[in-house]
Amino acid sequence: MSAAPDDASAPTSNGQAPARDDATSSRDRTPAVRVVGLRKEFGSTVALDDVTLDVRTGELTVIIGLSGSGKSTLLRHLNGLHRPTAGSVEVLGRDVVALKGKELRELRRDVGFVFQQFNIVGRLTAMENVLSGALGRLRGPRFGVRAYPKQLRREALELLDRVGIGDRAFQRTDTLSGGQQQRCAIARTIMQRPRIVLADEPVASLDPEISGQVMEVLMRICTEEGLTVLCSLHQVDLALGWADRLVGLRDGQLVLDKPAAGLSTEEVMAVYQRLDPTGEKAAEYREPMPAGAVR
């Protein structure tokens, strides 16, 4: 894993995320996300089963769970990519299920999404990809860097610096490494000026060392911008280093929802216990946990 960065937003030596300024949450008491009784069926598969969850403004929530437990399905409901079978989804005070057309586009401008597979345009430069994040703030399409106002170009360059690839600004992104491509995607998301960032296993395609570095970049920049973050992660150690709160899904059900500080290994590992059809514990998640990752 990467070394903790030497700045104020890094996890402290006890491995906890730094205390956050509570001003935002006390100013705005409406939760950033409110999910009540969410159920999603895909044919006969129940992907989410009666999930209820509130996320406060400025909170950093990490969603853990085995592959197939419903993490992506939950995140995709929050920007209207999926419609619930039952239940309600409110984001930034708006009923996501009721939104259509322009309103849905407006919501998606406020809700940035970072994907596992980066979703950047390989034939464009890093700069062009980042600038495209500002399209929702402009009228009409733009082709090429020079078509964007100078102020936005400056902003994009600054963001590329902040994610650590300022020197790659004018390089085609299909010539960048995976970690650099995800850094570029993070910069593009922030360029959008979202209020919430959803990240769906953002480092699952990267090797472990790079994963730690890219997570650090994502979490640091979101913390600096005061954004509400929901991030699904496979790596428990990474989750505990950054999360204010840990949410666990198992077979579509919410089985854990607690502050990250003080969680026991047992509570975390229980999320990964799979139930067999007889209801007995059949298999446990076996990815090794680094010593001391859980307090």
Closest to Mg ion by CB, 56 vs 71, is: 71
Q: How far apart are CA 240 and CA 236, in angstroms?
A: 6
Give me the sign of the Cα torsion angle 128, 125, 174, 183.
Answer: negative
Decide: residue 267, CB within 10 A, 0-12 exposed, 13-18 middle, 19+ buried: middle
Instruction: Kindly tell me which residue out of 58, 70, 84, 248 binds ligand ADP, with binding defined by CB under 6 A.
Output: 70
Query: Which range in 15-23, 66-74, 140-148, 165-173 contacts Mg ion by CB under 5 A?
Result: 66-74
Closest to ligand ADP by CB, 220 vs 250, is: 250
What would the DSSP string read from start to end of 205-272? TS-HHHHHHHHHHHHHHHHHTT-EEEEE-S-HHHHHHH-SEEEEEETTEEEEEEESTT--HHHHHHTT
Build a one-symbol-per-residue string for 16-45: x at contacts with ligand ADP by CB under 6 A, - elsewhere: --------------------------x--x
For the record, the structure tokens of 188 come out as 């593009």
In the complex, least distance from residue 51 CB atom to Mg ion, rounded to whole angstroms: 15
Instruction: Kindly tell me which residue out of 61, 69, 72, 211 binds Mg ion, with binding defined by CB under 5 A.
Output: 72
Q: Phi/psi class of residue 218: alpha, beta or left (left: φ > 0; alpha: ψ in -120 to 50)?
A: alpha
Closest to Mg ion by CB, 71 vs 245, is: 71
Going through 5-67 in order, the beta strands assigned E by DSSP cover 33-42, 45-55, 60-64
The count of residues in the chain is 295
Residue 153 interacts with, from ligand ADP, Mg ion, none (CB under 5-8 Å by kind): none
For the record, the structure tokens of 251 come out as 């077979």
Closest to ligand ADP by CB, 172 vs 274, is: 274
In the complex, least distance from residue 171 CB atom to ligand ADP, rounded to whole angstroms: 32
Residue 70 interacts with, from Mg ion, ligand ADP, none (CB under 5-8 Å by kind): ligand ADP
Closest to ligand ADP by CB, 195 vs 274, is: 274
Residue 47 interacts with, from ligand ADP, Mg ion, none (CB under 5-8 Å by kind): ligand ADP
Q: How far apart are CA 282 and CA 277, in angstroms?
A: 9
Q: Is 61 in the site for ligand ADP (CB under 6 A)?
A: no
Task: Give the CB-nearest residue to Mg ion.
Answer: 72
In the complex, least distance from residue 113 CB atom to ligand ADP, rounded to whole angstroms: 14
Q: Cβ of 249: how many Cβ atoms within 10 Å?
A: 26
Closest to ligand ADP by CB, 63 vs 219, is: 63
Q: Is 47 in the site for ligand ADP (CB under 6 A)?
A: yes
Query: Which range in 70-78, 103-111, 152-160, 235-243 contacts ligand ADP by CB under 6 A?
Result: 70-78
In the complex, least distance from residue 96 CB atom to Mg ion, rounded to whole angstroms: 19
Strands 33-42 and 86-91, sheet pairing: antiparallel
Closest to Mg ion by CB, 70 vs 133, is: 70
Q: Is 234 in the site for ligand ADP (CB under 6 A)?
A: no
Phi, psi (degrees; rounded to nearest 5) at 98: -85, -10
Tokens 């399905």 correspond to what residue?
A: 73
Tokens 């995607």 correspond to what residue?
A: 185
Query: Which residues would be at the binding site for ligand ADP (CB under 6 A)?
Result: 42, 45, 47, 65, 67-73
